[in-house]
Chain A
Amino acid sequence: MTATVTSNLREPAERDPTAGSGFGADGRAAYARTRRRASAQALLLALPLLLFLLATFIAPIAILLSRSVENREVPVNLPALSQALKAWNGEGVPDEHTFAILAADMRRASDEGHLGTVARRLNFYLPEFRSLLMRTARQLPETAPPAWKPALIELDPRWGTHDIWRILKRSAVSPTPDYLLAAVDSTVTPDGSIASLPADSSVFINAFARTVWISASVTLLCLVLGYPVAYLLATLPAAKSNRLMLLVIVPFWTSLLVRTTAWYVLLQPGGVINSLLMGMGLVSHPLPLLFNRTGVLIGMTHILLPYMILAIYSVMKSVSPVYMRAAQSLGAHPVTAFIRIYVPQTLPGVGAGCFLVFVLALGYYITPALLGGAGDEMISQLIAAQTNEQLNWGLAGALSAYLVIFTAVFYFVFNRLVGIDRLRFG
């Protein structure tokens, strides 16, 4: 580290341009060389962090996202069958030869203890596949029967159905689009076209829509509630403003889990808010404030509001009052001057605040998990459920891919419109 810093300081970053002023080709080449060296040195300083992030941050995300198209369980554990299925034309039920390979592969995978992996993978396609596979493997005859096809179909008639074999063929191909399709509630139908599930069972599209809707609502609430507060803080005398600022800063620095816990306690049926409302005679029964959308919106708005206020405030502080005064002295109504002169100057702060709140809200997990209701999950909760409960990393990867792409699009739009260097903290 010492060496890098030393060699860097020997070459100041800014050099006088020597090109084109009598230095000739040699001078220009030397200048270009110096510049190249200076920029290589600048890059060298950032290199440790770049490599660190590539290894500990970018690689994990890339690997998770690659899981969304990876389909290795069946090709790896039933290799001969996978080859045979690739050759099969996919019509009806395959021939005796393929059945024999299925039996041999199944027995080997079962002996090596890999059949469970295969069964779990196939179960993602068809929930009865695990039992079919495991039962068949258990009952495979020790000695080869005269013909495997009738033997297996007799063991379980489902082996004689086209659908089972169609699914096996799909599972033998990698990369597969199936997880990415499943993450938007679609499947490939037997005839090869893409079909969406009926609206009432489209779990993931509903969850994406819900996540965007909750995030947008929270962003709008934060903007409407936060803009006037930022304005007051930016226009009050410093001493008073600093004291009021504490009321924004203390929540900002307080642990997210503490704030979520606070709402968890306050919003309970027998909690502070409901006893207050009932004590004042405003309601006769406790309001359902917890384990539903209301709780999530209250908690998330409370947690994200300081980001919005601070982002807008930092821009408002740099807005000169001169233009407002000029507009008013030229006869503009204060409201007109405020809307036409003041508000446009604060838009970078509004943009930064909205971006920050919206993007943070998209990935929220803790607050909706603790304050939200069943069936009202945000997309992060569904990703966690896929990895922790279903162990379906392919689907988790696919859901993550959509979430990351959506976030990245927002990032680039924001960077184009406002500039990422507008983001400041504290």
Chain B
Amino acid sequence: MQSQRHLVLSERIASKWLRVHCALILFFLIAPILAIVPLSFNTGSYFSYPMQGFSLHWYAKALGSSDWQRAFLNSIGIGTASTVLATCLGTLAALGLSRANFPFRAVIMPLLISPMIIPIVVVAAGFYLVFAPLGLVNSYVGVVLAHAALGTPFVVITVTASLLSFDQSLIRAASGLGATPWIAFRRVTLPLIAPAVATGSVFAFATSFDEVIVILFIGGPDQRTVPRQMWSGIRDSIDPSILAVATMLILFAVALFTSINWLRGRSAAAALPGS
């Protein structure tokens, strides 16, 4: 009895400790992000509370500046172009990789996911060396190619995972019912893996949208993206308009993961009939 009560007590302490620890850590994770949001509405240019008053001044400054406008357009344009490229190449590769008889898997797999693992400064310096003689430095083409390369592993991994749980008998059923292979792919395979393809492409887009170092190395003044503009904003003269941009990017992040969640729901629904 004595030991039983002791057990209950120690478990209660452990559980309470766990909750306190987790509350602190979750606070540590979210608080810095939330703390800068009100400061972006501050009248004054100080980075501290109490706020001097509410104003949209810094938003007007950020949205009205041609530098930031161009940065937003660049981020979206470069992100979209590199995502399309990464998604096409990555999905095609995943279709091959998910087959049982894919050869040289042990060599090719690390190669395909190496863009995730190799330190980005090394990659960026390498891009510069190769792209400079080809005239691809300070060009959109160079930045898009580089960002597409960095985004492909995410597409490959998500789509391969979805294809591995894909029920191959559906394809056989389709061809048994007279579908040509292309029709079977378009009408059966593609709809079922579409959520995974979309998930991979959101990751690829986020990779490009968040990337600074490659842009620092091979992008010119015309290719300045939002993170690149933030980088020079912090280094040169930081003012709360950077927090206004940061707040917009936080909202953008929320939109991105909401779309991922929605896609995952669709993906789970798509997987149900097969499994």
Contacts and interface: CB of A to CB of B under 8 A. Distances in A.
A302 interface: yes
A63 B168 CA distance: 42
Nearest to B26: A247
Contacts of B209: 255
A420 B109 CA distance: 9
A48 B227 CA distance: 30
User: A-side binding surface: helix, strand, loop or mixed?
Assistant: helix
Contacts of A347: none
Interface string A243-266: 010011111111111111111111
Nearest to A232: B22
Contacts of B123: 57, 60-61
B18 interface: yes
B184 A9 contact: yes
Interface string A210-252: 0000000000000001101101100000000000100111111
Contact of A231 (B18, B90, B102, B114): B18
A7 B239 CA distance: 58
A366 B212 contact: yes
Interface stretch (A93-101, A125-133, A267-275): A267-275
Contacts, number: 299
A261 B29 contact: no
Interface string B11-28: 100100011011001101
A56 B145 contact: yes
Contacts of B264: 426
A358 B46 CA distance: 35
A298 B128 CA distance: 31
Interface string B70-113: 00000000000000000011101101110111111000111111
Contacts of B112: 46, 49-50, 53
Majority DSSP secondary structure for residues of B touching A: helix
B89 A275 contact: no
B186 to A, nearest CB: 9
B199 interface: yes
A255 B72 CA distance: 14
Given A56-B149, A61-B122, A407-B118, A13 B100 contact: yes
Interface string B44-72: 00111100000000000000000000000
A261 B122 contact: no
Contacts of B26: 229, 244, 247-248
Chain A CB within 10 Å — which of B115, B118, B226, B260 has the most? B118
B149 A53 contact: yes
B32 interface: yes
Contacts of B242: 261
Contacts of B18: 228, 231-232
The 9 lowest CB-CB distance pairs between A and B, nearest first, are A363-B119, A45-B96, A60-B126, A9-B181, A49-B93, A253-B253, A64-B126, A46-B96, A380-B121
Interface of A: 1-2, 4-10, 12-14, 35, 38-50, 52-53, 56-64, 67, 225-226, 228-229, 231-232, 244, 247-266, 268, 270-272, 275, 302, 305-306, 333-335, 359, 362-363, 365-366, 370, 380, 383-384, 387, 393, 396, 400, 403-404, 407, 411, 415, 420, 423-426
Interface of B: 7, 10-11, 14, 18-19, 21-22, 25-26, 28-30, 32-33, 35-36, 39, 46-49, 88-90, 92-93, 95-97, 99-104, 108-115, 117-123, 125-131, 145-146, 148-149, 152, 154, 156-158, 161, 168, 171-172, 175, 180-182, 184-185, 199, 203, 206, 209-210, 212-213, 216-217, 226-227, 230-231, 234-235, 238, 242-243, 246, 249-250, 253-254, 256-257, 260, 264
